[in-house]
A and B are shown apart, each in its own frame.
Chain A
Amino acid sequence: MTTMTPVVLNKDSMIIAREQDVVPFRNRVKEHAVRIGMSLLNQTKLITGASELVRNMLKYGKGGIGMIEILSKGRDNGIRLIFADNGPGIPDIQKAMTDGFTTGKSMGLGLPGTKRLMNEFDIKSEVGKGTTITVIKWKNG
């Protein structure tokens, strides 16, 4: 039972090309979270994390695609978000995941903070190719 892989119940995606796409994407994530009955606290964590990753994609990755998947695993439901861009990639992932590290004169909290807000966090990046970040938030996680 421990190695059970989640089943994808529903998929949705949106192209993220400009700042005006941030709020609609976040609203879409929220709609799905409400539909599966996610608690208000988890909803807030999820949309805040989504906001961080969408903004990174716009600021550093020249935009990309945001995917939303509704997951079912045993008795729990959850939401998986995948952010994929074809931007410059991240040369040192470990550094980027450190609190306070930024190349954009910002707070450097987006990546490490989002990891803390989610149940699962995976980052893959290749310089010159792009970055893909996958996160999961369980309804009762």
Chain B
Amino acid sequence: MKNEAIKIFQKKKSNILEKWMTLQLQDEGLREDLISNEDLRIQSEELLSSFISTLSDANIEHVSIDDFEAVKDILSSISISRAKQGYSPRETGNFVLTLKEALLNTLSEEMKDPEALYKQSMFINKIMDNFAINTFETFIKGREDVIYRQTDEITQISTPVIRVWDGILALPIIGTLDSARTQVVMESLLQEIVETGSNIAILDISGVPAVDSLVAQHLIKTVAATRLMGAECIISGIRPEIAQTVVHLGIDLSQIITKSTLASALKTAFTILKLEVNKKQIVKHH
């Protein structure tokens, strides 16, 4: 190893760690509720060791980021776990930026020749900036994962099966009926049919913004599955603009009982079950 900066880093490692820790703890944004100082030190030490041991004469001069895969992996896992724990981007970014500060600071204390110091500082800058960008990318990815997980959770909770009448189930569908959603809807519907011995299921799509060929196919499949269970399925809540669009697309829903409102679907269900709803006759006594 001839590179002066590497020699300095190796010699001053514990010193750098102390500096880095001080800088991190100075940051007003640091949340002690999310990580203990002890854990922060362990994370920091792991990263610093990995970084210093990866540095070589070759990669410090021609920043070859591929050499730093191991360092990046540590950094990525820290960023992702921070994103999931609810850290701010600032806190996460500061983790790398304070390391850069500690490294540059150490170099300037140890190196006497200004030209050499400038050169080495530029290398460190370049590597660290690259890490910083990487940190933000993975941090955002971590946040996206959180969003996707929440989407899945919403899918689960937003498909209630309602027993509107003895033998009649209603399923209001709100949002898009994608493949995952259809699976959930179908499973809970079929299960309720078995459990309640219902003969009719009403699928209300008032809350579905668009019926494209995929959604239509899912509806058709759900109706077919319901019929296989010996029950009838009515689709209600088809708004006029949806009806026209479906026709233009060329989708054939003629095999399915469709109604514009939940009320008219319920009426049809009563007819199928031979039920009659009457206004109570008030008999006047003289």
- The complex places the Cα of A47 from the Cα of B241 at a distance, in Å, of 12
Beyond A22-B178, A99-B250, A116-B250, is A109–B244 a contact (Cβ under 8 Å)? no
Is the Cβ of B249 less than 8 Å from the Cβ of A55? no
B132 within 8 A of A: no
B213 within 8 A of A: yes
A45 within 8 A of B: yes
Is the Cβ of B178 less than 8 Å from the Cβ of A19? yes
Would you give the 0/1 interface string for B200-214, flagging 1 where the beta carbon is closer than 8 Å to chain A? 000000000111111
Number of interface residues, chain A, beta carbon within 8 A: 26
B255 within 8 A of A: no
- Tell me how far the C-beta of B66 lies from the nearest C-beta in chain A, rounded to whole angstroms: 24
Is the Cβ of B244 less than 8 Å from the Cβ of A41? yes
A119 within 8 A of B: no
Is the Cβ of A52 less than 8 Å from the Cβ of B213? yes
* Residues of B close to A51: CB separation below 8 A: 210, 212, 214
B134 within 8 A of A: no
Would you give the 0/1 interface string for B230-243, flagging 1 where the beta carbon is closer than 8 Å to chain A? 00000000001110
A5 within 8 A of B: no
Q: Output the nearest chain B residue to A40 by Cβ-Cβ distance.
A: B241
Would you give the 0/1 interface string for A34-70, flagging 1 where the beta carbon is closer than 8 Å to chain B? 0000001101110110011001000000000000000
Is the Cβ of B248 less than 8 Å from the Cβ of A116? yes
- The complex places the Cα of A106 from the Cα of B249 at a distance, in Å, of 14
Which residue in B216, B217, B248, B251 is a CB contact (below 8 Å) of A45? B248
Q: Which secondary structure characterizes the binding site on chain B?
A: helix
- The complex places the Cα of A48 from the Cα of B250 at a distance, in Å, of 12
Beyond A44-B241, A47-B210, A107-B213, is A22–B176 a contact (Cβ under 8 Å)? yes
Which residue in B179, B245, B251 is a CB contact (below 8 Å) of A19? B179
- The complex places the Cα of A113 from the Cα of B240 at a distance, in Å, of 18
Is the Cβ of B176 less than 8 Å from the Cβ of A23? yes
Measured CB to CB, the residues of A under 8 A from B are: 19-20, 22-23, 26, 30, 40-41, 43-45, 47-48, 51-52, 55, 99, 106-107, 109-110, 112-114, 116-117
Can you identify 27 A-B contacts, CB atoms within 8 angstroms? A19-B178, A20-B151, A23-B178, A26-B210, A41-B244, A41-B245, A44-B241, A44-B242, A44-B244, A45-B244, A47-B210, A48-B211, A48-B212, A48-B249, A51-B212, A51-B214, A52-B212, A52-B213, A99-B250, A106-B213, A106-B214, A107-B251, A110-B212, A110-B213, A113-B213, A113-B248, A117-B249
Inter-chain pairs besides A44-B245, A113-B250, A117-B248, 6 sampled, C-beta below 8 Å = A43-B241, A44-B241, A48-B212, A113-B248, A113-B251, A114-B249
